[in-house]
Structure 1
Amino acid sequence: MLRSYLRLLVFTFGLLVGVQVPGFITDYSQRLEAHRLEAQQSLKGFRATAQKFFKGDLDALVAHYRVSDDPVMRSDGQSVAALVSRDAQLEAEWWAMQGAWYQRVWHLITAADRPLLEETYNGYSYQVLLAPQAIAWGLSCGLLLAWLVEGTLLTLAALAGLGRSRQVQSRHWR
């Protein structure tokens, strides 16, 4: 009886963890979009200058700033280069998050922008979504976790010689 309750407890824990996945992905995507729009807004004036003098090439604008004799212009060139780099990074991240659900999950696990991921995690508020996607994630994680924990414990018990007696085992194998 205790084993059944423990199995239910493990399943429920997996279910509650699983329903968090779609909400976390949504929060990360929204935070990414906000940072991306902010980066684009920060570059708006520089894009206009690059359009006017360098046919829209921001890299040419940065190169112009860097070769200037004025130390203020060179310093600004470094700042603009950092803004351009961050904008490109956020744009690439945004495109990576436009794929199918499994591509987004894999991207978050393996290649997400770490500071943005940590920022999302720190600001994440746990929620129980009743959307079909969240329910599917919850059931899948619950079943997987319950199966892994029970399988591991049964294997360890069998290795330790605990569990069913040989008489019971032989009766089931007939």
Structure 2
Amino acid sequence: MTQLLRRLFAFSHRLFDRVLFTLCFIAGVQLPEFIQQYSQRLSGHLNEAQHHLTQFQVIADVQFNGDLSELINRYQQNSDPAIIQTGQLVNNLTVRIDELAVAFSQLQQESYWQRIVYFVQEMNIEMAQATAQQFVLAIPLTFNALVTGALFAFSILTIKELLIMAIKALSTRIFSTKTSTTA
């Protein structure tokens, strides 16, 4: 009976490993797709902000020889609070465009691994949440996606095995201490 239980436990452990690996692999290949959809959202925000700024740039072109900062200064020097706020809005828009442009260019880098590192370290949480809400699962069959999936799955299985080894070592130490103190 003990032999049967050991075999059953070993079988269930192998089955669990395979299921866990498969699920982690599928989750891992989603990262490149998520970054792609995040980049598309980022690009959309950048294009929209540039579109809005273009309207102010037309005014700056006509009134201030294209100097947008002079237009902003004029707005902010006005005595009317609504005009001052408009100047701040235009200034905030230029800052946002710069931030979005930097983020978008970083996500278009040659190195796939640099894109992942940049995404993890610098992602805009609000934009990532919006992307997640609209995220469409996909299984991209690109080399990078497959490698990411495999690395993620192997990492999770390695962590699981290390935890099991630590628990076994700890339980062995606890039980050997109890038996030596009771003897």
Task: Give the letter aligned to residue 101 of structure 1.
Answer: Y
The answer on 1:44 being equivalent to 2:47 is: no
Q: How does 1:103-114 map to 2 (within 5 A)?
A: 103-114=114-125
Show the counterpart of 1:146.
157
Q: How does 1:1-174 map to 2 (within 5 A)?
A: 1-99=11-109, 100-161=111-172
Q: How many residues align?
A: 162
Alpha-carbon distance in structure 1 between the residues aligned to 2:23 and 2:15: 12
Give TM-score scaled by structure 1 length: 0.84
Moved more, 88-97 or 52-61: 52-61
Larger Rg: 2
Moved more, 129-138 or 22-31: 129-138
Higher share of residues assigned helix: 2
Greater relative contact order, per chain length (Cα 8 Å cut-off, separation 6+): 1
- Structure 1 vs Structure 2 CA RMSD: 1.7
Alpha-carbon distance in structure 1 between the residues aligned to 2:66 and 2:130: 32
Show the counterpart of 1:166.
none
Alpha-carbon distance in structure 1 between the residues aligned to 2:102 and 2:140: 28
User: 5+ residue gaps in structure 2?
Assistant: 1-10, 174-183
Give TM-score scaled by structure 2 length: 0.81
User: 5+ residue gaps in structure 1?
Assistant: 163-174
Q: Taking every aligned residue pair, what percent have the same amino acid on both sides?
A: 27
